[in-house]
Each structure stands twice: as structure tokens, then as C-alpha cells.
Amino acid sequence: MPVCLSFLYHSDMTLPSHLRAVFDEQFRASRAQIDTPIEERRRRLDLLERLLTDNAEALAAAVDADFGGRGAALTDIADMFVLRATFAELKRNLVHWSKPKRVRTPIYLQPSTARIERQALGVVGIIGPWNYPLQLTLGPAATALAAGNRVMVKPSELTPGTSALLAKLVKKYFPESEMTVVQGGAEEAAAFAALPFDHLFFTGSTAVGRKVAESAARNLTPVTLELGGKSPCIVDVSCEDLRDAALKIAHGKLLNGGQTCIAPDYLVLPRHMEAAFVDAYRGAIAQMFPQVEGNPDYAAIVNEHHQARLKGLLDDAVALDAKVMDVGPAATGTTDASRRMRPVLVLDVRPDMRIMDEEIFGPVLPVVLYDQIDEVLVRINAGPRPLALYWFGEDTARRDKVLRGTVSGGVTINDTLLHVAHERLPFGGVGESGQGAYHGEAGFLRFTHQKSVLVQSRWAQGGLLYPPYGARFERIMGWIRKLL
């Protein structure tokens, strides 16, 4: 008997017929096969990994074309390598994570036994971003497949070539009932978010994340929101090697042209270190990027709109008396038609500047000077909680004061970005920087229903607590209270 799906759609929804048809097919398949065998999950993971491996060059070329300048080596380290690590971790732990977990039974419920069974949710929707269009789309998809789910993916319209190639390849490797890619712009994305998924996973801006959450709420669809925000990078007075710190900060800031959600958004620096840091940061950039123009290792800004937005942030800062300092290598004089934006430091910043309020997402690093660490903590805690926080120094007491005195999605000490590369650390935001975490077992559980099961024993004496209540009941309850 066919499953009736009309109850899933609200009467005020206007969904494209093809979108509804794809969802309906996956919904029926997920309900027809509630328990997805380990062998089937592994097969789907293998297919996705083969898709990536067999088509690595074509995918890197598509990303390069979409950005107007993003070298294959950058895509290999920033997208492909992370995905390979994800596949390896999922395969290594798939059996263990999928097993039922025995739970100790309290004395008052013995001799019953209890366990937690881990089941697939059903159909998972994934809305991916443009900045890492492979890693941040296929990574969540792989985890959802490992957990036994069917997956629908909506990649970003800002990387149309990559999105089109993904759609073509997924259709080649997977039946539509297992995994599919939906293309389109903002209207298609809004319709996608309105589908009654069993879970909806979104990576993108906080503003769009709010809209996704509102749309999902109409279906009571649980969401994971991987957003962004103002991630501070603190250099402590105990930092002994400023050049090493500057190199790591420059790498974290300039990877992918600064278009990274966990990039250091602004630098917090002891006042007396400003001149030394400027020199060290300039040297670090010259070491990694001997030239900006035409350099495939230095990614272009994804489109003209974002390039204009960054220019607007700098213009606003200059109008409010900030000093913008080009810290890139000497210009080569060659013509570069790409949107590669030269790296800059912004000095003498003020809280009322747009650059200190909006997420930057580009090779622009504002510098905030401080005298006492307490004023740094006040500044950080006065705003939305950041997705990431970075701290450089040697004094563990001062480090721990910052860790205890702030709340952020994740932290890397004496480096940048690397906590996200650790597959066994949950990755996610808090407050305006996100909701829910994934990676490793945390991600597996994000796409899993943990079903509680209690098995009563034939020797159970629960009836002793049934009505009518009286003296015997009071004696038994008194005995139980002593054992708790």
C-alpha cells in the first residue's frame, strides 16, 4: 500500500513539482527500509569516495573557474584532504558507532535491562555554502549516509559550475532514492528548506541561517546551523615568537582568500607589539605568497558583489579615520584580471566601524590594541559568541583565564584553524555562530535517532508500586530512597 505524503506539506506551501517528487521518492524509500545494514552504509560511503577520487581534477577545475582563480593545490588541501580524512574516520568507526549501547539499570528498575539503539533519521537535507563547495557539502553528506540516511543536497548558486558537476556526478554514481543534488538559486533554496526533512543541515551566513531555521520550524524539522561571526585572535604578552605567530595568523586569515568561516576575523594585540607585528605579518605573507597577482595559491574573491562589499567595509573604516595598510608583496606590475584582493591590515579601528560589526570574509585583518586582558574579555563577551577563538602565548594561567572567561564554538591554541581539522573534535557554533555540532561521532549522532529500549524481566516486581497505596508501599519507597 503506498504511503500517503500529503500530510507532510502545509497548505500554504508552493513547492516545485520536481522537488516534491524527489523528496517523496526518498521519503518512501527511507520508510520502506528503516534499518539500513552496515554493508549498505559502507557501500554508499565507498561510492561517494570513488566519486571524489575519480573526478578530483574535474572538480578542482570547476572550483577554480567558479572563483575566477583558485588553484588545484588549494582545493586539494582545503577540500579534498579534509574529505578523505572524514571518509577514513567514518569507515574506521562505522560498526562501533552503529552498535546498540547497553545502559546500566537503576536499582528500582532491576532486573530489567536497557539499551540505546541508533537508527537512521530518514531523509536529510543539506544546504551547502560556496566558500568550500566540496568539503562543506560532501562532508555532511558522507556522515548522513554513514548514519543510514537518504540525502538531498542543495549546493550554492554562487559556484554554479561546481554545483552542476556535482549534480551530474551524483546522478551517475547514486540512484535518486539514495542521494541527489538539487540545483537552483535563492527561490529553489527556499523551497528546499521548506521540505519536511527528518533533519536539515545548513552552512552559511547567520542572516540566511535565521531564514532556514524559520522555514524548518514550520515542519518541526530539527536543524544544524553552521554559521560564522567575529572570531577573535588574541596575542598574549607572553607570546615569545611573534614571527611564528604572525605566520600562523596570516595562514589562517588568508587561506582561500580569507573566505573561511573560522578565519581570524580581527586581531587583539598588546599595544606595545603593534609595530613588531606589522613587520612580522608582512614577512609572513611574503614567505607564503611571493606575489598576489596570478598566484594560484592565493584565491580570488568569489564574485564582484563580495569584492564590492569588502571595498565598502574599507571605505567606511577610512571615513572613520582608520589606517588601511597594504601588507602584501610588491606588486609585479602584470595585469591580473582575477579578483585577487591584496591583503591589508586595518589599524586604529573603532567599535562603530562596519568592519568591527560585520563578518569580513576576505583578506582584511583589523587590529585592536589592548593594555589589560580583562578589557579583551569584556569586548568579546559584549558581542555574539564567536565560531572560533585563537590565542597565542606561553603563560598557561593567562591562557586558561581566556578559555574560562569566553564561550566560543571551538579554540585553537598557538595556531589557527586546526581544531576543525581534528575529526574527533565536534565542530559547531554557539548562539549566533551556530546550532549543533558535527565531525566524527558527534556528526554521526547528529544524523542518528537514539531510541531508548527497556526490556522488562519476567521476575519484575514493579507491581509492588501499583495502587492501592498504603503501609507496604511506604515501606518499599523508604527502602528505595535509601538506595538512591
Provide the annotated active-site residues: 226
Angle CA(14)–CA(20)–CA(22) in degrees, nearest 5? 155
Asked whether the bond before 2 is cis by omega within 30 degrees of 0, the reply is no
Cell numbers given for 315 = 571605505
Contact criterion met (CB below 8 Å) for 322 and 349: yes
DSSP line for 311-332: HHHHHHHHHTT-EEEE-SPPP-
Give exposure, 38-47, as e/b (b: 16+ Cβ within 10 Å): eeebbebbeb
Contact criterion met (CB below 8 Å) for 283 and 246: yes
Helix (H) / strand (E) containing 398: helix 396-405
* 3-class DSSP state of 275: helix
DSSP state of 77: I
Identify residue 24 by its one-letter amino acid code. D
Cell numbers given for 301 = 574573491
Helix then strand then coil, in percent of the chain rounded to 5, is 45, 15, 35
Cell numbers given for 457 = 524481566
Rg (CA), the chain: 26
Asked whether the bond before 155 is cis by omega within 30 degrees of 0, the reply is no
Measured in whole angstroms, the distance separating CA 93 from the mean position of its chain's CA atoms is 21
Kindly list the distances between the CA atom of residue 396 and the CA atoms of 85, 235, 259, in Å, as whole numbers in the listed order: 31, 13, 31
Say how far apart CA 405 and CA 407 lie, in whole Å. 7
